[in-house]
């Protein structure tokens, strides 16, 4: 196989216990799930004090292996697995609280869990409890997990973390790089407590078939006195996908670019009506779907864009993203009804204008109209963020507004998809993808964009809609490149408009703060403060006089400089016009010439 492939072996036995409370499982999906979500393996161990912990183990493993593969393919492995395991933990905890064991958690629905997800060239580990995951590489055995045990004496210990023991689950997470022939070993405490590090290495070094090796490890633990259930899982990496493997987006070069197009021509059932936009990388046309008799927008790569594989991959990604977001303020992709022979995208047609043009037509927009527009943009951004996607190029040119005031977010070519970061070629997410005046300072320094980065762009747009200006001018890019973003000075709204409430500056100043840690945590907080005065943002934090009234500040500074110049000019007069008859050091003799001179 050219992609990710593994071999595996598993074995479990109740040992000397009356029942086996362990549960283990492995899911090897076919494509495209193997590329989008990977391969998952999980091991759970019930606690001996509970008569229902085998139910918890079974639910934890089965639930993880089924629900993980049902999460959005835009989510990262960490996001997907964590959300699923937290939901399972909440369900197990609720089962105990509703049972006769509600006052004795040691007898409830509790189990440990160690899970491993292999995707692309990386392994992601999730762990809570005292089962273990090891990695065998090049003759060395390394323990990758930490036992969550609380020792109360040399003989007695308790689990400090497990599924179902608390309403909130605290997971250990580790991400490591895969290599061919890596072997991952998952075992319960009934195995590793009776087999030392050296013994495990000897058994792995002489491994043949993985099923046989798993059984040999379990049998050796039982032979050396294990009185617990024993479960062993082995997973060997056989092949890895190439570094720049094609993802679920499809191969950008699989379809040829269409020939030169012009209005009144036909492209695979779409009649081109007129050109809407001509850019450096793409051309956009208004077209009519002849089969459905409805207007659509056709976007094709330009001559310059066809020679850039990374840009072509992002071009294909736009329609892929549009198909996964169903939101009234996000541009929709038109479902294909016939196979394509050329590389192009088809989206719905919005009869409106860009927000930049709207800004030119409304130079003094009312606060309520701006709030309505910002609220719609924020709603679209939340749809992206829920899927762990970040737009990265939010600006007035990428926002459409129709005659009814409905806003639509377009152009997803710069979007960062967390779930694809480790699969896309490096060229696709290297460098600055957004537009400089609207891009957060941390993005200039090579940091990954996040929710706060999109919020920075939204704050810049809000400020521009109210004033027609930018809060930092064009200084964001220059200051960020020099690592001097702390020197950026926010320009208060009162410099441009005196009719706006002064408290509006508070949420805007926070939204566009150069330090991402000083911004809002979520977009909804910004929207709330934009509509409701927040005393914490303006109480005792009055802007400097230079920002509130720059004319008066410069007048006062000029007056001070003038007085200083006068004092400097007459300073020699004080020493040369001293009254010789006065006693030395007499204060009136020193001040009289100065007072009379200033009077002149």
Place of tokens 């323990």: 143
- Is 286 part of a structural domain of the chain? yes
What pLDDT band is residue 593 in, cutting at 50, 70 and 90?
Answer: very low
Average pLDDT over residues 51-66: 94
- Is 25 part of a structural domain of the chain? yes
Report the candidate in 181, 185, 182 with the shortest Cα–Cα distance to residue 200. 185
Query: What's the CA gap between 147 and 189, in Å, rounded?
Result: 10
**Amino acid 62: pLDDT:** 96
Q: Are 129 and 45 in contact (CB under 8 A)?
A: yes
- Please determine, for residue 177, whether its predicted confidence score (pLDDT) is greater than 90: yes
- Domain match, 480 and 581 both: no
- Domain match, 557 and 526 both: no
One-character DSSP codes across 19-60: S--EEEEEE---TTHHHHT-EEEEEEEE-TT-SSHHHHHHHH
Average pLDDT over residues 318-325: 90
**What is the CATH number for 322?**
3.30.200.20
- Domain match, 304 and 453 both: no
* Across 31-35, 117-121, 189-193, least confident range: 31-35
**What is the CATH number for 58?**
3.60.40.10
Q: Which domain holds residue 54?
A: 5-239
- Is 244 part of a structural domain of the chain? no
pLDDT tens per residue, range 210-225: 999 999 999 999 999 9
One-character DSSP codes across 243-285: TT---TT--GGGSPPP----TT-EETTEEEEEEEEE-SSEEEE
Cis peptide upstream of residue 500 (ω within 30 degrees of 0): no
Query: What's the CA gap between 574 and 595, in Å, rounded?
Result: 10
What pLDDT band is residue 206 in, cutting at 50, 70 and 90?
Answer: confident
What pLDDT band is residue 246 in, cutting at 50, 70 and 90?
Answer: very low
Q: Is 361 helix (H, G, I), strand (E, B) or coil?
A: helix
Report the candidate in 338, 329, 269, 258 with the shortest Cα–Cα distance to residue 300. 258
Average pLDDT over residues 503-515: 93
Q: Are 477 and 435 in contact (CB under 8 A)?
A: no
Quick one: tokens of 415?
């979007």
- 559-563: long-range pairs with CB below 8 Å, 24+: none
**Amino acid 429: pLDDT:** 55
What pLDDT band is residue 428 in, cutting at 50, 70 and 90?
Answer: low
Query: What's the CA gap between 314 and 343, in Å, rounded?
Result: 12
- Domain match, 117 and 213 both: yes
pLDDT tens per residue, range 372-389: 999 999 999 999 999 999
- Please determine, for residue 186, whether its predicted confidence score (pLDDT) is greater than 60: yes
Burial class of 255 by CB neighbour count within 10 A (0 to 12, 13 to 18, 19+): middle
What pLDDT band is residue 250 in, cutting at 50, 70 and 90?
Answer: low
146 alpha carbon, distance to own chain's centre: 27
- Please determine, for residue 600, whether its predicted confidence score (pLDDT) is greater than 90: no
* Across 264-268, 450-454, 574-578, least confident range: 574-578
- Domain match, 564 and 483 both: no
- At residue 127, what are phi and psi to the nearest 5 degrees? -150, 135
- Domain match, 394 and 267 both: no
- Domain match, 335 and 457 both: no
* Across 55-59, 221-225, 243-247, least confident range: 243-247
- Is 55 part of a structural domain of the chain? yes
- Is 507 part of a structural domain of the chain? yes
- Is 108 part of a structural domain of the chain? yes
The residue count of the chain comes to: 600
Integer CA distances (angstroms), 56 to 14, 109, 145, 204, 233, in order: 16, 5, 21, 30, 19
Question: End of a domain among 348, 381, 410?
Answer: 348
- Is 247 part of a structural domain of the chain? no
Q: For a pLDDT cut of 70, what percent of the chain falls above it? A: 88
Please compute Rg for the chain using Cα positions. 34
**Amino acid 394: pLDDT:** 94
157-159 and 122-128 beta bridge pairing: unpaired
**Amino acid 584: pLDDT:** 47
Report the candidate in 190, 182, 193, 185 with the shortest Cα–Cα distance to residue 213. 185
- At residue 224, what are phi and psi to the nearest 5 degrees? -100, 20
**Amino acid 548: pLDDT:** 59
**What is the CATH number for 425?**
1.10.510.10
- Please determine, for residue 155, whether its predicted confidence score (pLDDT) is greater than 80: no
Query: What's the CA gap between 412 and 390, in Å, rounded?
Result: 9
Average pLDDT over residues 168-175: 95
**Amino acid 31: pLDDT:** 84
**Amino acid 574: pLDDT:** 45
* Across 316-320, 362-366, 520-524, least confident range: 316-320
- Is 259 part of a structural domain of the chain? yes
CA angle, residues 491, 494, 496, in degrees to nearest 5: 80
Average pLDDT over residues 259-271: 89
Q: Are 293 and 304 in contact (CB under 8 A)?
A: no
Q: How many domains does the chain have?
A: 4
345-348 and 266-267 beta bridge pairing: unpaired
Mean pLDDT score of the chain, rounded to an integer? 86
- Domain match, 176 and 191 both: yes
Cβ-Cβ contacts under 8 Å for 374 (sequence gap 6 or more): 458, 461, 462, 465, 527, 530
């Amino acid at each position: 196989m050219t992609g990710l492939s593994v071999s595996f072996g598993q074995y479990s036995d109740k040992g000397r216990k009356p029942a086996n409370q362990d549960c283990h499982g492995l899911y090897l999906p076919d494509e495209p799930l193997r590329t989008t979500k990977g391969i998952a393996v999980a091991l759970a161990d019930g606690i001996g004090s509970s008569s229902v912990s085998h139910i918890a183990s079974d639910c934890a493993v089965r639930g993880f292996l089924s629900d993980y593969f049902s999460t959005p393919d835009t989510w990262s492995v960490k996001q997907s697995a964590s959300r699923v395991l937290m939901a399972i933990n909440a369900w197990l905890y609720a089962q105990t609280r509703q049972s006769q064991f509600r006052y004795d958690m040691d007898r409830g629905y509790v189990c440990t869990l160690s899970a491993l997800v292999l995707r692309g060239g990386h392994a992601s580990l999730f762990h809570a409890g005292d089962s273990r995951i090891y990695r065998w590489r090049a003759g060395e055995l390394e323990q990758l997990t930490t036992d969550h045990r609380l020792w109360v004496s040399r003989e007695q210990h308790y689990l400090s973390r497990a599924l179902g023991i608390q309403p909130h689950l605290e997971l250990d997470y580790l991400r490591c790089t895969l290599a061919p022939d890596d072997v991952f070993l998952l075992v319960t405490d009934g195995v590793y407590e009776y087999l030392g590090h050296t013994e495990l290495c000897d058994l792995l070094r002489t491994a043949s078939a993985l099923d046989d090796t798993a059984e040999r490890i379990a049998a050796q633990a039982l032979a050396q006195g294990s009185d617990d259930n024993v479960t062993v899982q082995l997973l060997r990496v056989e092949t890895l996908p190439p570094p720049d493997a094609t993802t679920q987006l499809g191969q950008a070069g699989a379809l040829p670019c269409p020939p030169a197009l012009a209005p009144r021509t036909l492209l695979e059932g779409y009649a081109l009506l007129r050109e809407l936009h001509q850019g450096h990388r793409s051309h956009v046309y208004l077209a009519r779907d002849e089969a459905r008799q409805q207007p659509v927008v056709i976007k094709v790569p330009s001559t310059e864009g066809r020679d850039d594989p990374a840009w072509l991959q992002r071009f294909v990604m736009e329609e892929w993203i549009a198909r996964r977001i169903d939101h009234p303020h996000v541009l929709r992709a038109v479902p294909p009804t016939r196979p394509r022979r050329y590389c192009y995208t088809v989206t719905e047609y919005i009869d409106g204008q860009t927000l930049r043009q709207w800004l030119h037509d409304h130079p003094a927009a009312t606060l309520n109209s701006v709030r309505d527009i910002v609220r719609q943009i924020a709603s679209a951004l939340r749809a992206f963020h829920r899927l762990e996607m970040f737009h990265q190029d939010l600006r007035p040119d990428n926002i459409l507004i129709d005659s009814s005031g409905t806003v639509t977010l377009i152009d997803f070519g710069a979007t960062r998809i967390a779930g694809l970061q480790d699969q896309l070629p490096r060229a696709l997410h290297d460098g600055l993808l957004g537009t400089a005046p609207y891009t957060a300072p941390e993005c200039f320094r090579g940091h990954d964009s996040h929710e706060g980065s999109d919020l920075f762009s939204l704050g810049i747009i809000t400020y521009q809609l109210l004033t027609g200006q930018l809060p930092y001018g064009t200084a964001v890019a220059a200051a960020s490149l020099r690592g001097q973003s702390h020197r950026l000075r926010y320009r208060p709204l009162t410099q441009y408009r005196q009719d706006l409430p002064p408290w509006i500056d508070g949420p805007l100043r926070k939204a566009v703060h150069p330090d991402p840690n000083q911004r809002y945590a979520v977009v909804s907080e910004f929207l709330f403060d934009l509509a409701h005065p927040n005393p914490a943002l303006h109480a005792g934090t009055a802007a400097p006089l230079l920002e509130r009234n720059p004319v008066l500040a410069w007048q006062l500074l000029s007056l001070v400089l003038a007085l200083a110049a006068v004092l400097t000019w007459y300073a020699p007069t004080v020493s040369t016009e001293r009254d010789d008859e006065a006693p030395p050091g007499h204060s009136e003799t020193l001040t009289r010439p100065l007072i009379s001179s200033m009077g002149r």
